[in-house]
A and B are shown apart, each in its own frame.
Chain A
């Protein structure tokens, strides 16, 4: 008997750290010293708050560097960091530090943010809760996928992998280990979720599952 998939949701509360940056040196210091939940928040906030708006969200660091400090080149480098390639926040943090340090080594004069446009470091506290939904097979999974909140979808795809440091997203893991659907699991794991809106991602995963259901039905 295969293990059912229990749908969870992840709900976050934003915390203010009271720390701010006025220039790149301050930003670097914050990235180096603040908790991982701060790095996570500033690289993922946009996904939930503006999930309907566009894919390819910019992280807060890149946005501030480009829009406020007007260091376009560095902003692009930070925005282009491919978060999917990182297994944990620690490594992601190191990558940001490396890029900013390299830039600072060039010895350019530090640009200051105008008053009122400082970077405010925040972090998030996330609560994981089981919903009342579960799925025992592909058909049920597809059905429930359409009903769960965007927080649930977000939790299983983004939080599970990067924050809980699982090898892959929860959906792919269950499809492979419990249903033996390795090909489908790989297809979902290969998606770059950062390039979708959340509803776009939901539709794409649903379509892949439906395709597989039809294939099995022959």
Chain B
């Protein structure tokens, strides 16, 4: 696990100094954060990186997990899809299953932080344990721009009890006002981030990349188009295959689809089998399931080996896979959904699309124009460096924690009591 000083060559001394300045103002406060899985998926990845770094800054932060069985996670997966706007019938029985496990967690988890950050719907009911002085924040990583209304109403009864909510993109913002009291839940925009020093994102030697390609029988001399994502309908892996087939008419290339399995994702096997069926006998399509033990280094290698990285999602929370690819200066073709437009300015730091045909066109443009591809990649990397690395994410969280104790639009945290310069 990297230490803060190791980020100085990446982001600069002054950025790290600012984190310490903020952390000093949180002395004596305890931060507790809760989600549903320790491994797999973007949330666990961020917390694995963020919690130790915030602790190193001198802020007391700890991370807890809720417990749940297969039925519970099957239901929360349906919640996930329904919140993303995908047709799912949310039954009363599902809500009962959700509440039963949730109440078990409510009764068995100790919630004693000064500030408590709850991630996504799975642990949302823990708010029932709210003590009067504690500040509770619900962190929503999902695209809730068009949620299933029944489910949203159900969750809203809990959301309204929080002091604040965090969303990943402006379009996810909701009206969160109590019609009777007029009280509004504060909403914050905090984009997720990647860790530039993690195994998944650090520089790696060409030999490592070649070894991974060899392991999966991928031809290193033929352009690689890849989508690195869980096998999930919302990532539209079948749509990626269709786009690849349109490209293949003109350009001899390969398609790599690579994903791992998160412990809270019961849909994986079904989607993977549909993808394999669509891939058919084409030897240039490589649907891969990455062994969790080697996931990070192999994903890193596959992204770096790619001529184009695709993210053809139908819905997205933020799409950290896009962030990872841009950080590696890869040209990216991605759907204009969720947080992706925050990361890509079309034609400047990547290509935004809305259809299979548009995705295919973007891939062809990049494969046929190496100079253009290089420019997109370089601009993308610079944008990620300035806005979507873990150091910016930590700064936003520290600022968020401070909102619990300071009101107003411009807040002077000077020990001198004023801006010091007349």
**A, B in one complex:** yes
* Contact indicator per residue, chain B 166-193, by CB within 8 Å of chain A (1) or not (0): 0100110111110000001011111000
Q: Across the A-B interface, how many residue pairs have beta carbons closer than 8 Å?
A: 130
Within 8 A of B (CB), among A103-141: 116, 118, 120, 122-132
Contact status of A13 and B421, CB under 8 A, knowing A122-B189, A126-B409, A129-B413:
no
Q: Is the CB of A147 within 8 A of B173?
A: no
Which residues of B sit under 8 angstroms from A122, Cβ to Cβ?
170, 189
Which residues of B sit under 8 angstroms from A49, Cβ to Cβ?
386-387
Chief secondary structure at chain B's binding surface: mixed
Q: Does A177 contact B (CB under 8 A)?
A: yes
Which residues of A sit under 8 angstroms from B14, Cβ to Cβ?
131, 147-149, 152
Within 8 A of B (CB), among A1-59: 3, 5-6, 8-9, 11-18, 20, 35-37, 49-53
Q: Is the CB of B17 within 8 A of A123?
A: no
Which residues of A sit under 8 angstroms from B25, Cβ to Cβ?
129
Contact status of A125 and B408, CB under 8 A, knowing A13-B396, A14-B188, A160-B419:
yes
Chain B residue at smallest Cβ distance from A14: B189
Q: Does B412 contact A (CB under 8 A)?
A: yes
**Number of residues of chain A lying within 8 A (CB) of chain B:** 50
Contact status of A128 and B189, CB under 8 A, knowing A16-B167, A50-B383:
no
Which residues of B sit under 8 angstroms from A120, Cβ to Cβ?
170-171, 173
Within 8 A of A (CB), among B143-162: 145
Q: Does B422 contact A (CB under 8 A)?
A: yes
Closest CB in chain A relative to B188 CB, distance in Å? 6
Closest CB in chain A relative to B63 CB, distance in Å? 22
Q: Is the CB of A36 within 8 A of B173?
A: no
Q: Does A163 contact B (CB under 8 A)?
A: yes
Q: Does B416 contact A (CB under 8 A)?
A: yes
Q: Is the CB of B399 within 8 A of A127?
A: yes
Which residues of A sit under 8 angstroms from B13, Cβ to Cβ?
147
Which residues of B sit under 8 angstroms from A15, Cβ to Cβ?
186-189
Q: Does A173 contact B (CB under 8 A)?
A: yes
Which residues of A sit under 8 angstroms from B291, Cβ to Cβ?
none
Cα distance, A161 to B383, chains bound together (Å) = 27
Q: Is the CB of B386 within 8 A of A174?
A: no
Cα distance, A6 to B266, chains bound together (Å) = 56
Pairs A–B under 8 Å by Cβ, sample size 17? A14-B188, A17-B173, A53-B348, A53-B379, A53-B382, A116-B145, A118-B171, A120-B170, A120-B171, A122-B170, A127-B406, A128-B419, A129-B18, A151-B18, A160-B421, A170-B419, A173-B422
New A-B contacts (12) at CB < 8 Å, excluding given A130-B415, A174-B421: A8-B414, A13-B403, A16-B188, A18-B175, A35-B409, A128-B414, A129-B414, A130-B414, A130-B416, A147-B13, A164-B410, A177-B422
Task: Please list the residues of chain B having a beta carbon within 8 angstroms of any beta carbon in chain A.
Answer: 12-15, 17-18, 21-22, 25, 145, 167, 170-171, 173-177, 184, 186-190, 348, 379, 382-383, 386-387, 395-396, 399-400, 402-403, 406, 408-416, 419-422
